[in-house]
Chain A
Amino acid sequence: IAGITQAPTSQILAAGRRMTLRCTQDMRHNAMYWYRQDLGLGLRLIHYSNTAGTTGKGEVPDGYSVSRANTDDFPLTLASAVPSQTSVYFCASSDSVVGDVDTQYFGPGTRLTVL
């Protein structure tokens, strides 16, 4: 069982280019999340999906889009990358959103540099 996988591991991207970060989970979790992590700041939620077919905006959604066509996959797209999107991106999943303990499990991350 792999848990959550992300691809690519790292990427250097020219500003203005389009980029899709991939995330796949095999735990059949209902909820999935995309975060970015920047030095000195906490994890910030970009977009989330409580269940397949639905998505929502997090704290920092501008410049990013997501889709949730099925339970397993939750790709994040940067339509036209800018240098401020240089960050480490983590995908996470949880069995539910509301619950006694709905622990989020994280993928290994994608390190993105936009030049």
Chain B
Amino acid sequence: GQNIDQPTEMTATEGAIVQINCTYQTSGFNGLFWYQQHAGEAPTFLSYNVLDGLEEKGRFSSFLSRSKGYSYLLLKELQMKDSASYLCAVKDSNYQLIWGAGTKLIIKP
């Protein structure tokens, strides 16, 4: 079966750095996506990785290792507005997105 694993919940302090991990086992791989979802709202796109390595976009970076079936999302200089769920999704061999259950990130002052 196909599986995406992420921690259920993480807590971090405002101004700090946090790393959210995602491991996956899917039938094929055509890219990995990270989305942000605030409570009661729709998911919004954050980043995309298809090749190994780090993609940086402002305060957010995403890393991929295809051989290890592993990705992480790195959030720097945390702000209170970063409190949200972060969803990892992998596009499989049928070009369908397989979604993790999401990691709820709580930011404390």
Contacts and interface: CB of A to CB of B under 8 A. Distances in A.
A13 B100 CA distance: 29
Q: A-side binding surface: helix, strand, loop or mixed?
A: loop
B4 A103 contact: no
Interface of A: 40-45, 48, 58, 90, 97-98, 100-101, 103-109
A31 B44 CA distance: 17
B43 A106 contact: yes
Interface string B1-32: 00010000000000000000000000000110
Interface residues of B, number: 21
A103 B45 contact: yes
Given A58-B96, A98-B95, A42 B45 contact: no
Contact of B41 (A41, A97, A108): A108
A-B pairs, 9 with minimum CB distance = A42-B99, A106-B42, A43-B99, A42-B101, A103-B45, A97-B95, A101-B48, A42-B100, A106-B43
Greatest chain A CB density within 10 A among B48, B50, B89, B101 is at: B101
Interface of B: 4, 30-31, 33, 41-45, 48, 50, 87, 89, 95-102
Contact of B48 (A58, A90, A103): A103
Contacts of A105: 45
Greatest chain A CB density within 10 A among B42, B87, B89 is at: B42
